[in-house]
Amino acid sequence: MNSEQEIKEMVKEKYGAIAQQSKEQNQSSCCGSGCGCSNVEFSIMSEDYTKLPGYVPDADLALGCGLPTEFAQIKPGDTVVDLGSGAGNDCFVARSIVGETGRVIGIDMTEAMIAKAKTNAAKLGFKNVEFRLGDIDNMPVEDNTADVVVSNCVMNLVPNKQKAFAETSRIIKHGGHFSISDIVLQGELPDDLRTEATLYAGCISGAVQKEEYLRIIKEAGFTNITMQKDRKIDIPNEILAKFLSVDLLREYKKSHVGIFSVTVYAEKP
């Protein structure tokens, strides 16, 4: 894989293009990444937001891998920060919980996503939801701002996860917490999958081992680390065949390698 900056630029380019697509277009590509899996008529990673309070269809691009706001224990009046806020999907769900007395801040590195999210917020007339352009490993947010941090299938896109979780700790108030949905691995991916750039943007190649992911969180100083949800992701053969030979595909399917969508809760002491 390339340098951290090259990875960031690749992800920014991919998600800038996704911002111009509809939810239906994203759902017909692998993991919503636009990597050309035209025969797959569903999003592999995403879960159904439509029944959650505050759901805004125009903000749902089917890019997530969980429902972190459902698990985040958000309360009225809280300040919530969403890392990798996209078109604003989780921000608007969070806003329905924090109410008029709360505040929601979305952070995203992609200008097109920020523009789309701001347009959605303006249509809804929300005054307590804002979107800021910035990287998750260097957030434009003051220390001890958030009561709750949420994020949906974004940390796996960040090359330096240690720095990203350190930044997450910095912006959370003492006694605050996060609920983050993400993709993790158990076992080693074949090299042809692990180094494939389009699968990095599609949330797979950037994923780390589950044990390493939890260790990074602990080393960032978080406590009471809890696995709120753990769901195995099955990648269809027609997608895997784009990156693996017949023999490698057969070997991979026989292996015990697993790709999982997890939702992790942790507290800042």
For residue 43, what pLDDT is reported?
Answer: 55
Q: 4-267 adopts what CATH topology? A: Rossmann fold (3.40.50)
Question: What mean pLDDT comes out for the span 86-103?
Answer: 97
Average pLDDT, the chain: 84
pLDDT digits (tens, 9 = 90+) for 158-185: 889 999 999 999 999 999 999 999 989 8
For residue 255, what pLDDT is reported?
Answer: 78
Nearest CA-CA partner of 80 in 149, 180, 10:
149
For residue 241, what pLDDT is reported?
Answer: 76
> Per-residue pLDDT for 114 more than 80?
yes
Question: What mean pLDDT comes out for the span 91-102?
Answer: 98
pLDDT category of residue 131 using cuts at 50, 70 and 90: very high
For residue 5, what pLDDT is reported?
Answer: 78
pLDDT digits (tens, 9 = 90+) for 15-62: 666 666 655 555 444 444 444 333 333 356 778 899 999 999 999 988
Nearest CA-CA partner of 128 in 170, 86, 173, 77:
77
Helix orientation angle between 89-98 and 111-124, rounded to the nearest 10 degrees: 40
For residue 88, what pLDDT is reported?
Answer: 97
Question: What mean pLDDT comes out for the span 233-261?
Answer: 78
Percent of the chain residues topping a pLDDT of 70: 80
For residue 246, what pLDDT is reported?
Answer: 83
> Per-residue pLDDT for 192 more than 80?
no
The contacts of residue 101 (CB under 8 Å, 6+ apart) are 76, 77
For residue 173, what pLDDT is reported?
Answer: 98
For residue 36, what pLDDT is reported?
Answer: 39
Q: Where are the domains of the chain?
A: 4-267
For residue 197, what pLDDT is reported?
Answer: 46
The region of weakest confidence among 46-55, 112-121, 211-220, 239-248 is 239-248
**DSSP code per residue over 59-91:** G--S--SS-HHHHS---TT-EEEEET-TTSHHH
For residue 112, what pLDDT is reported?
Answer: 92
The region of weakest confidence among 59-68, 194-203, 242-251 is 194-203
Distance CA 186, CA 197 (A): 20
For residue 73, what pLDDT is reported?
Answer: 98
**DSSP code per residue over 160-191:** -HHHHHHHHHHHEEEEEEEEEEEEEEESPPPH
pLDDT digits (tens, 9 = 90+) for 141-152: 999 999 999 999
Structure letter (DSSP) for residue 155: G
